[in-house]
Amino acid sequence: MDGFITFVYIDDEGRSRPHGITIEAETEEEIEIQKRASMLLKLKIRRRIKSFLTRRKALYLFKETRDAQADQAKSGEDRKDEIDRLDGGEKLD
């Protein structure tokens, strides 16, 4: 495929809007080109979804790790406070 064309209508506010233009493939070559363009678009969408999910998973894992480290630090502080409290109390023989 050498390429394909797409139309985008932008309104006065700079937003894309439906343009109402349709191009019907008439020849076998045009039909084949449309099929290939459709497959490329689907592949591009799949790649974007995969990339999005990969980034989302990485962010989730980062947050989980950060939260676990914060919990561990808090737990360590709690243990230290307990030891300090016990050290200040009566010592057993």
Alpha carbon of residue 59 to chain centroid: 8
pLDDT in tens, the chain (93 residues): 566 667 788 888 888 888 777 778 889 988 888 888 888 888 888 888 888 888 888 888 888 888 888 877 777 777 777 777 776 655 544
pTM over 0.85: no
Q: What are phi and psi of 36, to 5 degrees?
A: -65, -40
Please report where in the chains the tokens 């809007």 appear, as a residue: 17
